[in-house]
Structure 1
């Protein structure tokens, strides 16, 4: 088979983008499964085949979510994006997402290109200048962009849907569709006020957009179907500018206070970041954006389909010199423990926290998310399944096979790969089977069926385990060491094939296998200077997979005791993560608990009828047959009275003795558990349901009235 050195044809060029995430919070597993892991698998596979790939992404640092976060934290938008850009970039790098560049839309170079493309479309007469009625907050004195308006979703009834999207049902909305809208700035009901903006006439462009979309019937069903739904409803003009003070200024006279719509400038970021990368690496960026033979592929979540399949292509059509997306393999949503991931509710597994709590286990999370990737429908991540995927599949199948081969080679051949003798018919069956895996896995990745591809890769490890179980080299080592040498040589070649074929999915594991096999992995820049000239370098790629001569005879392998690929994850580790999520949900519920509504208005005379007094608790005890009631003997200044109170879950009898309390003295007596209660001790309820005593801040005489 051909290797990189044998390739003479110009490699196919790909521009692969992964969605630009808002720089207003950390990365979570929903982002990873919905966009970044599938994109990274695809790119690593393409590179291994010898393709010329530009893998582009970055942070989206404009738009209302940034300003909302800044207001909430009392910071400037720039402070917010600076912090999260660095955190997100580091998390991706530590997790092994192999971007060629990870940049940001706040760069001035991006501002310049975005304004240039806007100006080109303006000069060509594509924009319609319209004055329209938009929501305006009279209290904050500001026009309200989509995310500054919340209201009732017309589709599912969610009372807190945003003006551009309902996070509960996923519907794309416009602010005027919301019922009972309110401003997130002041909480007031906004009014409609006239403002001027520039609209892209998608309605007039629909025939060209339809022709483009209909030429890609190979797109995933969810993507093609959503596009057809939009087209069937009829496209409408969409504003490409906004009334905001954060973003890229509209490059026209007399447009102070207006910026480019975030979904106009954000996808242009793919272009500007490619320009940055090309300038840094001596490449021509136009080869990746203006060459008809280049394939442009966008990896996104399903909530961004309309922007990448209709609006951005419409912009590129209008500009006239760019290629259009060849494919947009959007994923559905990843849920968490049966509930929708929500950053606002802190219901998420955050990548930077995972990397701290599970050091050197990047590939375990990559594997678990890839195995449950939401390719055609929403899927669910659970910590228990994460544990099972690790223990049963990575440890029990993949790691077990590699370790068995390593142990046997060290035990029987002093760690050097034995030379094979004559292959049996069964060996030839295994050899032919090995050849099928690069093809089947590659076909699945080419068609964006990543779960299927991962399952095929693990099947190669299963094949290796079966081969060892069937041939039983440990039983014949004394009678036929040559046969054992053949078995372990072929098994080692399967391990080497796994190193190639698992690399798109498990890059850290692939590197460890290469080390175990006694190779040194080098990158495209050549051999590191500090290695010996005699070192054996790993130069294999996807085109070499399927071969059984990857590891040379007598190659010294690593010592098996230091090279377990994976380790079991115990129940207590998983229980800790589940409890962490439950505590996160509890704290979020507390933080968002609403103060109970006020009761109906009463007159002073109604209040005056209540005789509220101060008394001291002399005795306290639990009632034997009740979990809730405590029995108190209270000195009320006149006499000693019995009061029963349902606070046993909050206070012990011992801690109540001697305390002064506030009580309602003229409440009609009431029998409970056969005991007459004469009064009610007053408490304040906290947002978490706990109770606090209402006590005077200094000692008061018993019977003292509260007024």
Structure 2
């Protein structure tokens, strides 16, 4: 059994005076789906609620990211203005967060005057100290519209699949990442004219000059406390060499560059967006008559960013370099990024209609907010990609929330009213646990719960709380007060009183996860909701009157789930582009190879490994250099999968690796093994990996 007391003592020494918690700023260019909710917003909310229950000084900030070409592009699609787009989706997203009980202290927006001033001041600070590098480069220019073109405003034919409506950054038919120079017959999305290349000056943040700082701060300072996927992606970027990154661009929509002669230039959205955390804190401080600076500049403040894995580089490398260059800000202590959540066997995508948007769920299930919070936490993609299925959602609600949590509380409340008129009778004084085994078990669960929260293991934390409900069901079944009441009513009362104390602890611990349910439980046991902290003892006074019992959860029927599955498929079908549809051609499977004997198979040593770093092999299209933890060592494997996977996206993935394959040199790199891949008839590759996370080195037989 883990030594939780030792872990708690260690955590006790890491307490801070205050906590600044940020959740990734969602782009206000459209609705957000439940994958975003699971990736950043529920984890951040759980952590903030936990800290408040520990009486910590917390500010939890977020806001809409409202600049950049994504906004302008959406305005073009909807034939309106960028301002109309951000007003529409900012309101929608903010409303969804409120209804989903995301307990933000402020939900700000980067279009505010305060944010513009804050971002411009930040740019000016760095520019005045000479932290930027000025460069002149050639960029596509529309002579008819008299403007430089962002990549998304350049349309042409994809050199990979022939799609004649590919963008300058990506072909949405085949998914290939592109640059404008690669497009065939490029033309402007604004005027239709063929663009020309024209020189333009921009300001760059020299990330390469901060490599020594990043190596010391991340690779040495956070090797043990950051998640493997976060650390691995950072290491891969740093080891691959960093390059200056433009902080300005030629665009009308955005924050004007505060430098003379920079007409028509705005701050790049990646530069201004994270400053949105600072401006949001400023606005919160103004609204609450507080000083914002300690939350961003005091070394006794803990800064934690909650994001999805696609934002790791910006929050762990780029933004910290900005903060370091400015010189007066603290750096993030942790960035517990989550992986992605898939949906019914496929990647979630709003553009393809394969998603459950937050507002859609709220429209269909306005009374099942806690059920969604519970399920998304239970399957949170903390260490690897996870999958939402409606059937599993139904099973978790019916078999766990209804049958375990709701059942225990309802049975106790009904029996208390049936046998004792819902009144606590404890003439000896305040009622606490009279069963020492229950008291010990609950204390142990609190310790485990606190360690789980402090180490960002929210799935485990929720399991810790559910163990309280399971403990209660077991105790109630063992005590059988409905039987003992006939011959020994005081023994029945004693058992039910112990269950009441346990329910008080359940209501307390459920507050971060199921805030609405927790409030209902507090109401049933007749305690003011939201007044109980993690450090408060649960007591009932003699004569305390309980309120009537009520059902906490309703069972979800099969027809409700089937309706959602049908709705998802119909939405995806309606958005399927007819020009993308291709004739299905049957492809014969590769015939089976000749038989081998068992000894030949047994000679292969195949184990579970975890990819801890990945990078492209220079001057090759197909090769990735992988660093894999095999359990027995950490080794390098060169694999021809670069055309199928982005290096940064596979860090933290588990693979099957043949560890006793004779080493082979590829492009000057010694490859020490081979990873197993599955390939379908169309040539699509997937990793052969265990269904759930296993320790590196686990044998495959």
Alignment TM class, shorter chain as reference: 0.7 to 0.9
Aligned partner of residue 552 in structure 1, secondary structure: coil
Match of 1:433 in 2: 441
Alignment pair present for 1:216 and 2:208: no
Once the two structures are superposed, residues 163-194 of structure 1 have per-residue CA deviations (whole angstroms, 9 ceiling, x without a partner) of: 667999999x7836966595672688755432
Match of 1:558 in 2: 547
Aligned partner of residue 486 in structure 2, secondary structure: coil
Alignment pair present for 1:206 and 2:211: yes
Match of 1:542 among 534, 541, 549: 534
Alignment pair present for 1:37 and 2:42: yes
Match of 2:486 in 1: 478
Once the two structures are superposed, residues 13-37 of structure 1 have per-residue CA deviations (whole angstroms, 9 ceiling, x without a partner) of: 0000001011111121011001000
1:341 CA drift (Å): 1.0
Match of 1:581 in 2: 568
Match of 2:306 among 286, 299, 306: 299
Aligned partner of residue 136 in structure 2, secondary structure: strand
1:595 CA drift (Å): 11
Aligned partner of residue 435 in structure 2, secondary structure: helix
Q: 1:364 to 1:267 in 2, by over 3 A?
A: same
Q: Partners in 1 of 2:428 and 2:477 — Cα distance?
A: 20
Aligned partner of residue 542 in structure 1, secondary structure: coil
Q: Partners in 2 of 1:82 and 1:188 — Cα distance?
A: 31
Equivalence map 1:41-440=2 (5 Å): 41-137=46-142, 141-148=146-153, 175=179, 182=186, 185=189, 191-214=196-219, 215-217=221-223, 218-419=225-426, 427-440=435-448
Contact 1:154–1:177 under 8 Å retained in 2: no
Contact 1:152–1:159 under 8 Å retained in 2: yes
1:425 CA drift (Å): 12
Alignment pair present for 1:466 and 2:458: no
Match of 2:26 in 1: 21
1:333 CA drift (Å): 0.6
- In structure 1, the gaps of 5 or more residues are 1-8, 523-538, 597-707
- Size of the aligned set, in residue pairs, is 567
Contact 2:154–2:180 under 8 Å retained in 1: no
For the aligned residues, what is the CA RMSD? 3.0
Q: Partners in 2 of 1:326 and 1:154 — Cα distance?
A: 44
Structure 1: 4+ residue segments shifted above 4 A: 137-141, 149-171, 176-184, 186-191, 420-426, 590-596
Alignment pair present for 1:520 and 2:528: yes
Q: 1:15 to 1:425 in 2, by over 3 A?
A: closer
1:347 CA drift (Å): 1.7
Aligned partner of residue 374 in structure 2, secondary structure: helix
Match of 1:568 in 2: 555
Once the two structures are superposed, residues 373-394 of structure 1 have per-residue CA deviations (whole angstroms, 9 ceiling, x without a partner) of: 0111111111111111110000
Contact 1:420–1:489 under 8 Å retained in 2: no
1:354 CA drift (Å): 1.3
Match of 1:640 in 2: none
Q: 1:307 to 1:148 in 2, by over 3 A?
A: farther
Aligned partner of residue 296 in structure 1, secondary structure: strand
1:492 CA drift (Å): 0.7
Q: Partners in 2 of 1:496 and 1:127 — Cα distance?
A: 57
Equivalence map 1:589-628=2 (5 Å): 589=576
Match of 2:696 in 1: none
Contact 1:146–1:164 under 8 Å retained in 2: yes
Q: Partners in 1 of 2:187 and 2:441 — Cα distance?
A: 63
User: With structure 1 as the length reference, what TM-score do the two structures score?
Assistant: 0.75
1:550 CA drift (Å): 2.8
Aligned partner of residue 199 in structure 1, secondary structure: strand
1:557 CA drift (Å): 1.2
Q: 1:15 to 1:151 in 2, by over 3 A?
A: farther
Contact 2:19–2:58 under 8 Å retained in 1: yes
Contact 1:245–1:259 under 8 Å retained in 2: yes
Q: Partners in 1 of 2:260 and 2:325 — Cα distance?
A: 22
Contact 1:60–1:105 under 8 Å retained in 2: yes
Contact 2:171–2:178 under 8 Å retained in 1: no
1:255 CA drift (Å): 1.1
Aligned partner of residue 71 in structure 2, secondary structure: helix
Contact 1:149–1:181 under 8 Å retained in 2: no
Equivalence map 1:435-514=2 (5 Å): 435-514=443-522
Q: Partners in 2 of 1:430 and 1:86 — Cα distance?
A: 47
1:148 CA drift (Å): 3.7
Match of 2:638 in 1: none
Aligned partner of residue 366 in structure 2, secondary structure: coil
Contact 2:208–2:244 under 8 Å retained in 1: yes
Q: Partners in 2 of 1:25 and 1:222 — Cα distance?
A: 28
Moved more, 111-120 or 351-360: 351-360
Contact 1:181–1:190 under 8 Å retained in 2: no
Q: Partners in 1 of 2:158 and 2:58 — Cα distance?
A: 42
Aligned partner of residue 339 in structure 1, secondary structure: coil
